[in-house]
Amino acid sequence: MANEIKNKVYTIAEGLQEPQKVKALLVKNAKDIVLVHKFPFLEQLQCIWGEETIRWDLIKAEIVKLQTLKELHLVYQQVDNQMIQAILALPQLKVLKLELRQQSRKKIDISWLSQLGKLVNLTHLSIKRHKLTDLPDSIYQLINLKELSLAGNKFTNLPFQAERFPTLEIIGLEANKITHLPDGFLNFKKLQKLNLAGNPIAKNPLYRDGTPVVQFLNKIKSLPAHLPNIAWAVFTDNTSQIAQASDQDLCALLSIELKAFQQKVHILLNQRLTDPFLSGIQPSETNICLLGNLFFGMKRQALIERLQAQQITVHTKLQPGTTHLVVGENLTQNNISTIYQTSLPFATAEHLRQWLEMQEQPFLKEADDSMAENLRRLLFSGSEDNIKLALQMIATGGIPASILYHVFCMCFYKIWRVYNPAPDLRRVFEQTGPFEMVQLVKKHWQKENKRLVEVFMQEQVIDKKLLFDTAFEMFLTSVDTPLVYDRQTFDPSTQYNDWWKYFFRSLIIQISYKADDLAEYALVQLQKENIFQRIAQHNINLLYPWLETKGKIQKYAASALLQDQTLDIRDSWFSLLSLPIYTPVERLVVYEHTMSGMNKQIIEHLSKIEHLKTIEVHKNDINWNIDNVLADWQHYAPQIQIIRINTTS
């Protein structure tokens, strides 16, 4: 029963012994419904019924006698319009839960829904697995409703207007098809809990369990009147509405203490604002006002000490000589007032971090391409001494922008022959890398590789094309575990189990399921490097994982595997049982020794390949007796023609 039920829940057999005491009853057999009138003080009734025929007319006749009933929970296999007549006979009902046992393939009659508005005393309503795509307007007559659960239906959007349900505190929308939340969500003034699990929208960390949404709605109540709509636009990625917001408005949103949301705001500001420190201003000419309590993971006082060490004037309140306003996180109301009162240029915490590091460790930040390339070669040489030298250079000189993603990726590289630099790399990256990417390293470095790729695809601070290019480059230029910069060294035989290959393959599979520009971009790069052909030349089996994907990536893998719908495995090590049955192969070419090893299991597997019509068997230098195998083929797969070729060519 529901959490509200604190009384003992009786079965019919138990309750009939002392019917006067029974307030909560469980009925598992529909025929027993005729006995419920024997419980005069019943408040809560739960009926769980299976395939048996339900007499709703009898149920109505019994339920109408239960004038003290406050909660009714029905779990059933069939729906009948008479059901609502039975329910409407309970004017004191406060909790109603209606649930189909299983999702039916048949069309469900939901015309009775329009009458639910008559139950004006309802505070809790649950309708599960009824294939609902909308709700009738009569639902708004439930003016006392506090909890609404619509799990397991077919909603793609919020099925009701928030402003017409001002009393709602709990909303359950799990296992629907919801992709976004409408602007009207701002009108839920009392919302305490939201469940969005099992919806497409739940892939976004901000919506995963609904908690951040509720926290967000509570936090924006204190904002100036025009800001909640802008905040919601940022929260829901409404780009057209975001574009209309002023820089001051976006900065003011940094007062909302929700980490993932503030990260989104910082990304928008970094994209929108021109970095005022790029003008070449000197530290002695700078007077900075810090707005907020946290800057790229650093407390305000610690940042002030770093700035003062570089002879930079810094304040926490606007001064007559202030030259720059820097917005961090967790802004106060006074900070917001300052933002709207001044015309000074804004800088983000990331702008300040980059400029400050230029003052503290300038030489690699200004490195030319040749210096960055030399540093990259040291990092990927596979030599412990070279890697440690590179780490020392980065620790004192920063990370050149051209190899930022290389160093970032190496923080997750777990397999090395002798020396594993990843822990040292992580420590150096946390000191010198961009704040947002440092947070990703701290957050994800222990995750499994496949999960890591999925996370990266969702993180907004990641430049997905740059991540792909970096992973692809490192995949192509690595041999076994040392990493060397010669693209021609790529050899599937020595590095199929290498971490970078697994990382790369997972990345490709992840994006291949999405019809977006990143997937198209990735496929273009694959074709440029002839990846499928290069893999097929060494070991055809390595193409299997690519055949399991969709669209163009499957097509390219199949084209590398086959030549004119022919699969020739005479010169390849090949596992026939692993050949996907959907491979579009019409002709298989093998040697006699391969045919001699075909047992019943292999024959039955190959016979399931829809397009396979012919197997061409070539002689080896040694004579093999394959008569028994040919007889098995004739018995188990007579539709496939076996042709023997008396030549080894």
Q: Read off the CATH number of the domain in which 130 is found.
A: 3.80.10.10
User: Does residue 549 lie in a domain region?
Assistant: no
Same domain, 182 and 266: no
> Does the pLDDT value for residue 394 go beyond 50?
yes
In one-letter notation, the amino acid at residue 285 is E
Tally of CA atoms within 13 A in the half-sphere of 580 that contains its CB: 17
Determine the pLDDT at residue 122.
Answer: 94
Alpha-carbon span 632 to 530, nearest angstrom: 39
Distance CA 333, CA 560 (A): 62
- What's the confidence (pLDDT) of residue 259? 80
The predicted model gives 209-228 an average pLDDT of 82
The answer, yes or no, to whether residue 533 has pLDDT greater than 60, is yes
- Is residue 354 domain-resident? yes
Range with the largest mean pLDDT of 54-63, 111-120, 572-581: 111-120
- pLDDT for 574 beyond 70: no
Domain assignment of residue 540, yes or no? no
Residues 183 and 68 in one domain: yes
Q: Which of 308, 328, 360 is the last residue of a domain?
A: 360
Residue 490 lies in a domain: no
- Residues 278, 347: contact at Cβ < 8 Å? no
Mean pLDDT, residues 562-569: 79
Question: Are both 161 and 264 inside the same structural domain?
Answer: no
273 and 333 both lie in a single domain = yes
The pLDDT of residue 34 is 78
- For the segment 81-89, the average pLDDT, to the nearest whole number, is 79
- Give the C-alpha separation, 612 to 188, whole Å: 60
Same domain (yes/no): 36, 158? yes
pLDDT surpassing 80 at residue 606: yes
Convert 114-139 into a string of H (helix), E (strand) and C (coil): HHHHHCCCCCEEEEECCCCCCCCHHH
120 three-class SS: coil
* Residue 97 pLDDT exceeds 90: yes
Q: Vertex 240, ends 237 and 243: CA angle to 5°?
A: 95
Judge whether 542 lies within some domain: no
pLDDT score at 5:
40
Q: How far apart are CA 61 and CA 70, in angstroms?
A: 17
Task: Map residue 373 onto helix, strand or coil.
Answer: helix
- Is there a domain that residue 404 lies in? no
Distance CA 284, CA 130 (A): 69
181 plus 305 within the same structural domain: no
Residue 390 lies in a domain: no
| CATH code where residue 301 lies | 3.40.50
Q: Which of 136, 168, 196 is at the close of a domain?
A: 196
Q: Are residues 119 and 265 in the same domain?
A: no
User: Same structural domain for residues 14 and 159?
Assistant: yes
Identify the H or E element spanning 105.
Answer: none
182/331 same-domain check: no
Shared domain for 41 and 172, answered yes or no, is yes
Give the DSSP H or E segment for 502.
Answer: helix 499-512
What is the pTM for the complete model shown?
Answer: 0.56
Reply yes or no on whether the pLDDT at 515 is more than 70.
no
Which of 193-202, 209-218, 479-488 has maximum average pLDDT? 193-202
Mark which of 360, 376, 402 sits at the end of a domain: 360
* 272-299: pLDDT as tens digits: 888 887 677 788 888 888 888 877 677 8
What is the reported pLDDT for 481? Answer: 38
Q: Name the band, by pLDDT with cuts 50, 70 and 90, for residue 615.
A: very high
Q: Are residues 190 and 255 in the same domain?
A: no
Share of the chain above pLDDT 90, in %: 10
pLDDT confidence bin for 116, thresholds 50/70/90: confident
**How large is the average pLDDT for residues 604-633?**
87
**Amino acid 449: pLDDT:** 60
Residue 535 lies in a domain: no
Task: Considering only residues 4 and 161, tell me which one the structure prediction assigns the higher pLDDT.
Answer: 161
Tell me if 471 sits within 8 A of 518, measured CB to CB.
no
Q: Is the pLDDT of residue 495 over 60?
A: no
- Assess whether pLDDT exceeds 50 at residue 485: no
pLDDT of 3 above 60:
no
Bridge partners, 539 (sequence order): none
Q: Could you tell me the residue range of the domain that residue 268 belongs to?
A: 247-360
Q: Structural domain tally of the chain?
A: 3
Q: Is there a single domain that holds both residue 37 and residue 183?
A: yes
Mean pLDDT score across all residues of the chain:
79
Helix, strand, or coil (residue 229): helix
